[in-house]
Structures are given as structure tokens and as C-alpha cells.
Structure 1
Amino acid sequence: MSIYKLKSSFQTILRPLVGRLAASGVTANQVTVGAAVVSVAIGALLLVQPLPGLFALVPLWMFLRMAFNAVDGMLAREHGQQSALGGYLNEMTDVVSDAALYIPFALVAPFSLPWIATIVFLSVLTEFAGVLGVAHGKGRNYEGPMGKSDRALLFGAIGLLVAMFDTLPDWTWHLQPMACVLLIWTVVNRVRTGLPDGDTSDI
């Protein structure tokens, strides 16, 4: 199960806005790149000024970023803007944006850089595993339990806690290894789902 399953309901809400954006000449690739620029800017700001209150930007932007991601996909599919370049931009900007938004949490005790770096690496691996399903005719794979939307919820909640209380309790350290286990589970799920039928006997 993944929060990604709620995406269709989110898209229904956004569809009128997407229609207006398309009519005004906004392109899917512009939305994709714009979301990545904002993500990197917020990540850079938190690295330079890791003030607890600024971490409130993370949950706010995580929600808005989900909207941006839904909008660019709908512009591409429903308004004739699909392109090979768009596919590359989608995948590359997602992993860059995730890394930019996760890394500042290494500055928040009890989190640490080695664990956050591991989470970033495994997050990239989950998206890589999801994309590889296309090569086997399975399509892009979004299996959970720790897909992009789930990670957005996790880090958004942590960012909100930091902003509200200025610090995190010691027990939250355990969220790091737990996230890593869930990410590895996600990679396995995506590989299993993405393999050709009948080719899972060794897993």
C-alpha cells in the first residue's frame, strides 16, 4: 500500500486548474523544472540557515510539490505534451529534488549524515527500480511501501515537528533505520513487479 494510490482523487481536484494552465500556454516541462528549482532552493536555504522554523517549508512544499507533479503529468497526458525529454526530466528532477529536501535533516539531531545519505541513496534506488520496469514492458512501477509520496509524508511530518518544537526527541533516531528497511522492501517489490512474468523464481 502507498499514498500514491490516492493520486487519482488528487488529479480530479486539479483537473480544472490544469485545463486553464494548458490554455494559457504553460507546458509540462516548465512545471517539472520549476518544481525542481524550488526544491533545490529550499534545500539550499535549510543547509545555509538550518533554523527550526524554516523546516515548516518542508511539509508545505512537499504538499505543493505533489500538486506540481500531478499537474505536469496531466498536462503531458491529457493535453498532448508527452515527450521523451519530459520523461527524462521527470525522473531526474525527482531524485534531485528528493536529495535536496532530505539532506538538510542531517543537521537536525538525532539524525545524522550517514543515515540521511543512505536514505537518499536508497530513495534513488527505488526510483531506478521503478523505471526499469518499462524496459520489460511492465510500465513505470510505483509499488510501496516507501515510494515518493510516502517519503514526502514522512519528511514533511518530521519537518513540521522540528518547526513546532525546535528539536526532535531521541526516539526519532529510529526512524532512519526504519525508513531504510522500508526503502529496501520497496526496491524488492518494484523489482518483483517489474520482472517479466514467470521470472521471479530466484527472488
Structure 2
Amino acid sequence: MISIYELKPKFQQMLMPFVNYLHKHNVTPNQVTVSACLLSIITGVLFYFNFESSWIYAVLPVFMFVRMAMNAIDGVLAKKFNLQSRLGKFLNELTDVISDTALLIPFIFITQIFPTGVIIFISLSIISEMAGVLAEVTSGERRYDGPMGKSDRAFLIGAVSVLILFGVPLEPYLYIIFIVASLLIAVNIYKRVLGGLGEN
């Protein structure tokens, strides 16, 4: 099943000037990773206190793109300049989960029907990343199978925000979006587990 993650190599290539600039100025991959997480938390807090304001729905899609770029940059920076570290691996996995949670929780307040669907979406997102990490333990390869992997979730949140910004009355139907997205995450969890077992 198609995932935005498949576009990652081309996206990374586009970001090379930024990667080279950061390395030239002694910025480390871990600094990029932590900065992306802190910005996610700040954006999530702003969203939490301003979910009724239209401007936050303009900020969210822009930030989701910036976050995807930063998530790509830290990896390229580490690999290209041999800056990988064990701490970096921990930070990469933990900050992604923290960032997703901070950015998604405020959707509970605008999901008019079955807001618990947002919690299910967040929970399955965390389980999905855990499955990807555990697959590396069993097979030696970190799994990023879609659908609805990290990049897909970022795109979904950005798209929902844009539609709300332009006045599309999505709020009564958000629970359907989150339920469908959760089912897709369940599929990727299954695929990641199979991949970790060497069965796909």
C-alpha cells in the first residue's frame, strides 16, 4: 500500500543544502531532533489553548511540513557525516512519540462525536512505532511500513487543518477520519510485525 514514506529519498535530496549548511555551522543531528520535539510541544500547547482560533489551523500544516523536514535532516546529517550515536537512536524514537502526542491531543476538543477516537489514533500510532523498533530487534531492520506511517499521519493532520482553515465543516465527521486512520495504522502494525518475523 502506498505511503508518503516512499518519497523520502527524493525529499532528503532536496534538503541537502540545509544539511550541508547545518554541518558547516556545527549543528549536530541530536540538536535537530530535540529542536523538532520542542517545537512540536510548543505548537501542541498553542493548539491546546487556541483550538477555537482559525490562525492555529494555518500554523499546523506549515509546522507539520517543517517537522517532516527536520526529521529527515537529522537522519541525513547523521549518515552523511558519520554522526550516528546510540543517544541519537533513543532520541529519534522517543521524540517522535512525544511530538505526535503533543500535536494530536488537542483534536479531542474539536472532535464532536466519539472524541475517544483521537485517543485510539494516538495509542495505535505509539504501538506502530514500537512495532517498527521491535522489528529491528528481531530482524536487524527498522520497519517503516505503511499505510498511515509517521509521514502519512503528518500529512493527514496537515490536510485536516487546511480544510478546517478554509471553513469545511469537518468537526462532526472527524471521528470517522480518526477511526479509518486507526484501522490503517492497525494494518501497518500487522505488516511491521510480519516484517520483523521475516514473513513478508
Q: How would you bin the TM-score normalised by the shorter chain?
A: over 0.9
How far apart, CA to CA, are the structure 2 residues paired with 1:175 and 1:144?
Answer: 17
Paired residues, number: 198
Aligned partners of 1:52 and 1:167 also within 8 Å: no
Q: CA deviation at 1:111?
A: 5.4
Q: Which residue of 2 aligns with 1:117?
A: 119
- Measured at CA, do residues 123 and 11 of structure 1 come closer, stay the same or move farther in structure 2, by a change above 3 Å? same
How far apart, CA to CA, are the structure 1 residues paired with 2:137 and 2:171?
Answer: 44
Tell me the amino acid that sits aligned with residue 5 of structure 2: Y
The correspondence of residues 96-115 of structure 1 with structure 2, limited to 5 A, is 96-110=98-112, 112-115=114-117
Tell me the amino acid that sits aligned with residue 43 of structure 1: G
Q: Which residue of 2 aligns with 1:48?
A: 49
Question: Does 170-179 or 113-122 show the bigger shift?
Answer: 170-179
Q: CA deviation at 1:46?
A: 1.1
1:85 aligns with 2:87: yes
Q: Which residue of 1 aligns with 2:145?
A: 143
Question: Does 104-113 or 22-31 show the bigger shift?
Answer: 104-113
Q: CA deviation at 1:110?
A: 3.0
How far apart, CA to CA, are the structure 2 residues paired with 1:53 and 1:24?
Answer: 33
Q: Which residue of 2 aligns with 1:13?
A: 14
Tell me the amino acid that sits aligned with residue 176 of structure 2: H
| Equivalent position SS for 2:166 | helix
Q: CA deviation at 1:113?
A: 3.4
Give CA deviations for 1:124-181 in whole Å, capped at 9, x if unaligned: 0000000111112331100001100000111111111122217425344311210111
Runs of 4+ in 1 over 6 A off after TM superposition: none
Tell me the amino acid that sits aligned with residue 2 of structure 1: S
Structure 1: give runs of 5+ residues left out of the alignment. none
The correspondence of residues 50-199 of structure 1 with structure 2, limited to 5 A, is 50=51, 51-110=53-112, 112-165=114-167, 167-168=169-170, 170-195=172-197, 197=198
Q: CA deviation at 1:42?
A: 0.6
Q: CA deviation at 1:185?
A: 0.7
Tell me the amino acid that sits aligned with residue 108 of structure 1: I
How far apart, CA to CA, are the structure 1 residues paired with 2:96 and 2:151?
Answer: 11
1:26 aligns with 2:27: yes
Structure 2: give runs of 5+ residues left out of the alignment. none
TM-score in terms of structure 2 length = 0.93
Tell me the amino acid that sits aligned with residue 29 of structure 2: A
Q: CA deviation at 1:108?
A: 1.1
How far apart, CA to CA, are the structure 1 residues paired with 2:182 and 2:22?
Answer: 38
How far apart, CA to CA, are the structure 2 residues paired with 1:111 and 1:189?
Answer: 30
How far apart, CA to CA, are the structure 2 residues paired with 1:121 and 1:176?
Answer: 12
How far apart, CA to CA, are the structure 2 residues paired with 1:111 and 1:39?
Answer: 26
Q: CA deviation at 1:87?
A: 0.2
Q: CA RMSD in A?
A: 1.6
TM-score in terms of structure 1 length = 0.92
Identity %: 41
| Equivalent position SS for 2:55 | helix
